Structure 1
Amino acid sequence: MPISAESVMVANRSTYRPRTLPAIFAQTAGGGSGLRGAGPTPDPALTARARPEALETRVPPAVSPGPYRIGVGDVVLLATPNPTEATIEQLTGLLAAQNSRQGYTVQDDGAIAVPEVGRVQIGGMTLEEAEAELFQRLVENQIDPTFSLEIAEFNSKKVSIGGAVSTPAVAPITLTPLYLDEALAAAGGVTVRDQDYASVRIYRDGTLYQVPLTQLYARDGLRRIQLVDGDSVFVDTEYELDLAQAYFAEQIQLAQFQQAARVAALNELNAEVSIRRGALEEARQNYLTRLELEGVERDYVYLTGEVRQQSRYALPFDQTASLADALYNTAAGVPTQTGNVREIYVLRGSADPREFASVTAWQLDARNATNLMLATRFELRPNDVIFVAEQPVTRWNRVIQQITPSLFNVVANASD
């Protein structure tokens, strides 16, 4: 029967479920047991300390940190003059209350992600250097470079204040210097009753400095001690400097222990994922090798007649194949010089083995280009045979090629 829209529907009604790839091709190496950690950290050790007759004053050296440099965690605001122009959109951070002010948080790699511009490295830069870098990137991306830049949240540089204060806090370091009296005020002030035996201790870069509370309020220079990133301020009512330093050292060790535990758990998880990934890759490679050596059961369609190469076409996994897929396969194809595109047949036997001689043949007339659309919708089934007839002139040419040697032999015998 000719291949038409109706016959294609009839041919495609036959039940067929394509073979599927093994489940290993859909699995991933994720889904591990997660970070295990190292359990709770030990409780800090606290010891009582007796009061001395006098407290030693140890003032940290003067510092000059220079202009503020943007760090990881800071939130910068990018303001454009036109609030309706969507050249810069919010990606991370906070949306400012003003019209076209967009907030961006500096990520771990020191960059902010600006839409239509990409990631811009501003970590470690001053505000002026960051403005110059953003200006250059906006110009490179042909975006109006009219903008202003400011820091909305200072999260990268901090000073911790604890001990005998109203509210232990973490004070950020901003564009203006942070002094000792300001840090204590940010924590609600000192709450000790007896200032004669209290001191303010500053832990900086592994060294502990001490300012007696009585000296702090008596001398203006001590109140204006400039603090830097990483300083820890502790108001203590005890006198032993070594024990106070041991407290800070203990806190650092606990933090290092927690960090090392997280790193170890992450390495363990990465190792587990790598092992799973290797097992999946090995299983997939073994299957592909078996497939290459024809050790896996496949469904085939056979191409014969006037095709470029008598071959078989493997039906794909997880989907059906059409007559056009097989005809336009690189190993097959119909040579137009010898093949008769008017007579392309699909032969399909009966599914019942007792009806072996029952064969249905569909004919595709490819002279009409619109019939090729039907070929893309005609679904193939296992063991279908695609047969392309030869052109009449091809048949005559082959007959002549077979007769010509015989004529030469007769003429040669007659001349003898």
Structure 2
Amino acid sequence: MYCFSDNKMRKPQRFLSYIYTIATRSFLVFFLVLGGCGQAYFPIQLNGISRSERTANQENTEVVIIPMTLETAKKANLEYYKRRVVKAGNLREPAKILPVSEAMQEFLPKQNDPGPYIMGIGDVISFTTFDKNNEDVTVLLTRDLVVKEDGYLYISPIGRIKAVGLSQLQLEDQIYQKFLEEDYGIDFELAITGFNSKNIIMISQKDGPTKIPYLSRPIYLDELLSSSNIKTVPGSDIRIKILRGDNKYVVSMLNLFEKSRKKIRLFPNDKIFIEPLNYRKEHVLIVGETGAQRSTQINSIERQTLSDTLFGSPVLNTVTSDFSQIYVLRKNKKIFNAYHLDITDPTRINFASKFEMRPDDVIFVATQPLSLYSRTLNQILGSTGLTLQARDTLKAELR
């Protein structure tokens, strides 16, 4: 049996440690060399074209840097707040994003007089006759007559009279001629008291179809909507569509109640559709050194500012965010205006509270240069740490 001394046992271990140290340092140098060539880190990516080809095929947009001051913020706030409407009712075609001006193209009815009422089946007529008895006293007899399914009225003593398709004046002429033919010298008068053959249908997404009885007095659109408790949400509009025979009219509810707007009278058998505009939700994108990249919602009523967006939620990181490089990117035709804010001087934060956000603005926060260096170093040292861990594991196995 051979016995080895403790010193003899340690020599191979020292040799292995020396080999692992050289390998680790060589790996680190190799990593740094490849890092300079852009090959040290391999992200998950599609195997398609090369990185240079991908970059060449991207669209490049001109960016104009504008310092954010009170004057430039005031000028930027003059830009129209563009709301858009989503038209997505037809599932067989893609949704359309339309400006409000296109989604709400008014077409108002020019004719505001429905003309004489034309009688139909089910209408009720109050018929009064004036006759004299044997004592030469005028006797009034009033009765309600209903237009039957065949379109006729029955009037005693002259019999059946066709009423469907006639106005009140035309029906009076028919009855008068019938009295003359039958040689009855009776005075009479009639009035339409039940407009049962005609009505107005109002259809809304909330309540569905509602039947509105037609009346002898004029019915106006604004009065009908008010009595039906149809209201707009602040900052939004409702598209009112009127189908009248073969014609279609479109009215904005906001414009309907203007004092200068002529009142719109409703006709018999009008169909009114209440269609609230499907506004697209408005967002601002927040990217860069902001933790998670995200979007935040804004609206045309509250008019959130850059200050609300930056400080209303944890966006800026006091360690890694570069407070001297905060940008608001806003599309201006074919270029982007980049409003630059540097809040290393705290007094400039006031500019952020004056700058209103607009839909599709992009807030970009740059990264501190030291943070970029630190992350690169952490990735390198992290890879080195994995190598050292593998060395220690192998040494433990060889013992």
TM-score normalised by L of structure 1: 0.37
Q: Which has the higher strand share?
A: 2
